[in-house]
């Protein structure tokens, strides 16, 4: 549990951008409506939720509406179809779109979390976990190409396991069905994020084995993006957004 708490604190990264006292100026201007889309609902995104609930966006003249996509691919689709102004997605999404034929790109303008918040869990308690215990086993992973899966694969490689040959990654279960799939007895190991990881452990349905974030180390894990056109035309708005998150 201590490892989990430490990882969550690390994951709620403090942004590098210093907040500027823009509240008085924002009050003199008309409020800017922002359609904000997050990839999933996660306690790791607490700074964004706090900025909404505490009125930090309001102070800077931003009228924010929040929607949850339930998947990076869905968030990207929303961004590219102009159904959202700002998206919170894994950084790999910006790379995928940059390398695609899409005329619209979604550059990163601000970071939020600085490591992976997923936990590796098993069905049985292990006194001293060794990653080699996963060899030949089935692991409930995540959508192919997604940030959680990329970080899990990195953790496996760092511990001498080939994700394609040494384990069987089950990546075809949708986000809403992951807990149900685990409770139904599928797979011997899995990765879960809070609060699912803690709840499964409290219910005696899973045993914490390792923190993916602690294993892999610091890295930009979820980032704020906007289309290249939106960034060009709304630089002051995006700076205000960044200031609110930093606060």
State mean pLDDT over 224-237: 97
What was the pLDDT predicted at 146? Answer: 87
What is the CA 165 to chain-centroid distance, rounded? 27
135-159 residue pLDDT tens: 999 999 998 988 899 999 999 999 9
Q: What is the mean predicted confidence (pLDDT) over 174-203?
A: 94
Beta bridge partner(s), residue 225? 87, 108
CA distances from 106 to 89, 91, 92, 157, 225 (A): 10, 10, 11, 29, 6
Cα 3 from Cα 140, distance rounded (Å): 21
**Is the pLDDT reported for residue 13 higher than 90?**
no
Q: In three state form, how does the secondary structure of the chain look?
A: CHHHHHHHHHHCCCCCCCCCCCHHHHHCCCCEEEEEEECCCCHHHHHHHHHHHCCHHHHCCEEEEEEECCCHHHHHHHHHCCCCCEEEECCHHHHHHHCCCCCCCCCEEEEEECCCCCEEEECCCCCCCCHHHHCCCEEECCCCCCHHHHHHHHHHHHCCCCCCCCCEEECCCCHHHHHHHHHCCCCCEEEECCCHHHHHHHCCCCEEEEEHHHHHCCCCCEEEECCHHHHHHCHHHHHHHHHHHHC
Q: What pLDDT is recorded for position 16? A: 37
User: What pLDDT shows up at residue 28?
Assistant: 52
- Residue 29 — very low, low, confident or very high, per pLDDT cuts 50/70/90? low
What 159-168 contacts at long range (C-beta under 8 Å, 24+ apart), as own/partner pairs, is 159/131, 159/132, 159/215, 160/131, 160/132, 161/131, 161/132, 161/134, 161/135, 166/134, 166/135, 166/136, 167/134, 167/135, 167/136, 167/137, 167/138, 167/139, 168/136, 168/137, 168/138, 168/139
Q: Please report the domains of the chain, with CATH numbers, ordered by start residue.
A: 2-115+220-246 (3.40.190.10), 119-216 (3.40.190.10)
Read off the pLDDT of residues 73-84 as tens digits, 9 standing for 90 and up: 899 999 999 999
């Amino acid at each position: 549990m201590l490892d989990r708490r430490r990882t969550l604190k690390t994951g709620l990264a403090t942004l590098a951008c210093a907040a500027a006292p823009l509240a008085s100026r924002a009050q003199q201007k008309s409020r800017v409506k922002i359609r904000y889309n997050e990839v999933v609902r996660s306690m790791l995104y607490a700074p964004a939720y706090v900025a909404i609930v505490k009125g930090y966006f309001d102070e800077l003249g931003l009228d924010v509406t929040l929607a949850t996509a339930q998947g990076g691919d869905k968030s990207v689709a929303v961004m590219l179809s102009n159904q959202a102004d700002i998206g919170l997605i894994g950084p790999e999404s910006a790379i995928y779109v940059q390398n695609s034929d899409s005329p619209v790109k979604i550059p990163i303008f601000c970071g939020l979390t600085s490591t992976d918040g997923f936990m590796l869990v098993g069905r049985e308690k292990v006194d001293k976990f060794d990653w080699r215990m996963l060899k030949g086993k089935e692991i409930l992973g995540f959508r192919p190409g997604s940030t959680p899966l990329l970080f899990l694969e990195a953790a496996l490689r760092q511990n001498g396991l080939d994700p394609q040959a040494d384990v069987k990654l089950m990546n075809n279960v949708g986000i809403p069905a992951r807990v149900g799939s685990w409770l139904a007895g599928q797979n011997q190991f899995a990765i879960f994020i809070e609060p699912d990881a803690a709840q499964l452990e409290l219910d005696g349905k899973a045993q914490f084995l390792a923190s993916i974030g602690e294993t892999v180390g610091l890295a930009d894990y979820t980032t704020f993006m906007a289309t290249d056109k939106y960034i060009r035309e709304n630089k002051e708005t995006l700076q205000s957004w960044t200031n609110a998150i930093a606060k």
